Copies of this chain bind each other. A is one copy, B any other.
Amino acid sequence: MAEAITSRAQDYSQWYLDVIKFAKLADYSPVRGCMIIRPNGYALWENMQRALDDMFKATGHQNAYFPLFIPQSFLAKEAAHVDGFAKECAVVTHSRLKLDPVHGLIADPDSKLEENLIVRPTSETIIWDTYSRWIQSWRDLPILMNQWANVVRWEMRTRLFLRTMEFLWQEGHTAHATEQEAVEETLTILDIYAKFAEEYMAVPVIKGIKTASERFAGAVETYCIEAMMQDGKALQAGTSHFLGQNFAKAFECKFQNKNNELEYVWATSWGVSTRLIGALIMVHSDDKGLIMPPKLAPTQVALVPIYRSDEDRVKVLETAEGIKKELLAAGVRIIVDDRDGFRPGWKFNEYEVQGVPVRLALGPRDVENGTVEVARRDNGTKDSVSQTGLAAYILNTLDDVQKGLFDRALKSREDLTTTVDSYEEFQSVLDSKGGFIRMHWDGSEETENKIKEETKATIRCIPLEGYEEAGTDPITGMPSKGYVYFARSY
């Protein structure tokens, strides 16, 4: 490989883009702000989808699919919602192209739509319009629905995976008979997101509540999980919204309760997106390239056979196939890279850059000795290991890597979390090491805005756990109910 990955110390932002490029996760597209997700990136997304989808289904959710297009008038029905999305949406105005003798291909004026269509930035409006037709009685509730879909938000500044004009996500939309049930659903999903982030992505997260100014457009309360990147910036990794009756009112969605009274339906919505891939890269990877947690890695083990003579080739590949068979049977996602025309060193480098958790090397001497070299991507260790009992050894190693990545990320986040009791210290920590800064806050939007304007740090969340310690806002001297998490963020 001619070029090299920029180091994190030199330019963190460029390092991130280099990792994506060298690990072949994504590419730019000719349409500004839209990305091409390459097979390595998409396979990661598929594994994320599978794990999340299983958790959604295990909690009673079903998948469905709603249209890509939303009538413009729908967006306007929920006041906060239209404010949040009208300024960044793709508007379809025509249904046909035609060849104009002067201007070439143009949108055919005769095909102008009676009403513009919006490419969905999120689907609350079209779904609540539908629910208003599906729901009549308490017997029709709850509806626990999710969809895997693409959405479009016309972002001005984009960055691969983290902020793109089109992205892939899942959006859950549930309907309930009571406020309590809807709030419980919101928290059930928040727990699923946190569990997924920590157990699959090996990314520790803070569960919390967004302040009013950071709430989803149309929500009563937005819950979130917040993660910390290696450079000291935070990243919102998932949100779960309690929507109250806002959308039910906007779309006249009422149900007859058990007392035969008409009531508005209670709602939630929640989503995570391909932005999670950005978080995964930024939390674990290093200057050599991507590091993938074993539970999500499309390839967990890559075996590189080493030989010179044809005779050795036969022996080595035969043993390699035996190992592959044994590991596949144990549920390990292993490949044997027997491509000719590529040197072993080149292959080693390829799996390192692409973040495959474990790389095996097998040469003629290994075949004789009944051994194999096991190299770990996370810490670089190499061990010669007996082929006997290899499957158990590898399963154990993968567990160890998974746990090790989480522990390392947790330690990093703890190192990057500082509790301060003065605004001076806040600013000094923010500019020196960044990270999460726990500080008292008086609960006012005014103070929140002042801090944001002066430091570019926002309140990432009011934590669900550890928010008991009352105190004083160091800026205003007003009382505070507890420490909240501030950070600069992606």
Binding site for B on A (CB under 8 A): 27, 29-31, 34-39, 42-43, 45-46, 62-76, 82, 86-99, 104-107, 111, 116-119, 126, 129-130, 139, 145, 149-150, 152, 154, 166, 168, 341
Given A30-B129, A31-B69, A68-B34, CB of A96 within 8 Å of CB of B154: yes
- One complex includes copies of this chain to the number of 2
Q: Which of A35, A94, A97, A119 has the most CB of B within 10 A?
A: A97
A74: B residues at CB distance < 8 A: 30
- Residue pair A31, B117 in contact (C-beta under 8 Å): yes
Among B31, B43, B95, contact of A62 (Cβ-Cβ < 8 Å): B43
Contacts of A36 in B (CB 8 A): 64-67, 130
Residues of chain B within 8 A of A130, CB atoms compared: 27, 29, 36
What's the nearest-Cβ distance from chain B to residue A126, in Å? Answer: 7
Of B73, B76, B82, B96, which is within 8 A of A91 by CB?
A: B96
Q: Which residue of B lies closest to A342 (CB)?
A: B139
Nearest-neighbour CB distance to chain B for A440, whole angstroms, equals: 39
Among B39, B89, B106, point to the contact of A95 (Cβ < 8 A).
Answer: B89
CA gap between A87 and B70 in the complex, in Å: 21
Could you tell me the distance between the alpha carbons of A108 and B82 in the complex, rounded to whole angstroms? 14
Cα–Cα distance between A428 and B154 once the two chains are bound (Å)? 57
Q: Within the complex, what minimum Cβ distance (angstroms) separates A272 from chain B?
A: 16
Q: Which residues of B contact A70 (CB under 8 A)?
A: 31
Cβ 8 A contact of A96, one of B35, B45, B89, B111? B89
Contact of A46 among B37, B63, B168 (CB under 8 A): B63
A215 to B74, CA, bound (A): 39
Closest to A35 in B: B67
**In the complex, A72→B98 CA distance in Å?**
11
The answer for the CA separation of A70 and B98 in the assembled complex, in Å, is: 16
Contacts A31-B67, A95-B89 known; A116 to B107 CB distance under 8 Å? yes
Closest chain B CB from A26 CB (angstroms): 9
8 Å CB contact of A39 from B45, B64, B69: B64
User: What is the CA–CA distance of A30 and B120 in the complex, to the nearest angstrom?
Assistant: 14
The answer to whether A166 touches B67, judged by C-beta atoms less than 8 angstroms apart, is yes
**A30 and B127 alpha carbons, distance in the complex (Å):** 10
